[in-house]
Amino acid sequence: MGVLSRAPLSKFAVLTLLWQTGGMRSPTATDSPLLSRRDAYRHATIEEIKALARRQLAEQGPGALSLRAIAREMRMASSALYRYFASHDELITALCVDAYHALADALAAASDAQPPDDHTRRWWALCHAYRRWSLDHRADFALLFGTPMPGYQAPGHVTGPAAGRAAAVPLAVFAAAVEAGAADPDRTQLPQTLEVGELLETLLREGAPDYPPRLAGIALTAWASVLGYLVVEIFGSLPRLIADTDQLFDAHVRTVMVGMGFDPARIHAVDQAVEAHPDS
């Protein structure tokens, strides 16, 4: 196994803990000071606008999102809506941020619910939580990973922290697995030297400067493979091609994990344990 410093991986785990516990995410209603009546009304109005926008996305798709229709449903002038969101794009951006945080919450909760020393099971749970969230929140999934909306460009400085939080969870789980010896990067097909792109370089530099790029490459390749499965299942014809997509997804995750360097025997043990106790 290639030489990996334990300190950088531990540092990344601490960073992820900050992301998960709120140290590096947008404030929520529970950690904000008591709002004035006026601010509470504004907050409630913003949440109502976003809820109606999400319903539009679910019923008609991203291309049909209409501020005018939302204003009409709220019985307010469309011009009044711009007091809360300056533009259509600003509303879309707010929905993207919320979706990334919701996904990160689901991933963190699933992995944290597993025994902390069972890294194989934590990754297994992570992948299945990704799928459950995607199937249960198809409009949000489409907003983040579907066909780009014409003319819309997400502002990286706004969506970046939320997207980074969602990406940090699988990166941290895999780093912990490697550190514990549950996954061996030398069993993977990724080369010892991997040139990272500008975005990943920035994320690693700002969040975990000593995180080995090769490990990040392995985790990102695996995550992209799971995402590809979900895209075909949600947007494509997979449910009409395969009768049991749950069984196929289990097989896909096993294949991905073998490719990441997880021990096949441990993967099989987790698969058998989950099959015996599916609700655990």
Give me the pLDDT at residue 29, please.
Answer: 41
CA dihedral (220, 112, 27, 204) positive or negative: negative
Closest CA to 248 of 268, 267, 233: 233
pLDDT of amino acid 22 = 41
* Domain spans in the chain, listed from the N-terminal domain onward: 6-21+89-276, 35-85
Q: Which two three-digit tokens encode residue 52?
A: 């109606």
pLDDT at res. 271 = 79
Provide the residue-wise pLDDT of the chain in tens; the chain has 280 residues.
343 433 344 444 434 444 443 444 444 444 556 778 888 888 999 999 999 999 998 888 777 788 899 999 999 998 888 999 999 899 999 999 999 999 999 999 999 999 999 999 999 999 999 999 999 999 999 999 987 787 888 888 899 889 888 988 999 999 999 999 999 999 999 888 888 788 777 767 766 667 888 898 999 999 999 999 999 999 999 999 999 999 999 999 999 999 999 999 999 888 788 877 666 5
Fold for the domain defined by 35-85: Arc Repressor Mutant, subunit A (1.10.10)
Residue 25: per-residue pLDDT: 45
Instruction: Determine contact, residues 162/105, Cβ cutoff 8 Å.
Output: no
Q: The CATH number of 6-21+89-276 is which of 1.10.357.10, 3.40.50.300, 3.30.70.2860, 3.40.50.1100?
A: 1.10.357.10
Q: In the prediction, which pLDDT does 26 show? A: 43
Give residue 192's pLDDT. 83
Torsion 67-105-172-217 (CA) sign: negative
Alpha carbon distance 264, 255 (integer Å): 9
Q: How many Cα atoms sit within 13 Å of 257 on the Cβ side? A: 31
pLDDT at 145: 92
SS3 15: helix
DSSP for 130-186 reads: HHHHHHH-HHHHHHHHSSPPTT----HHHHHHHHHHHHHHHHHHHHHHHHHTSB-GG
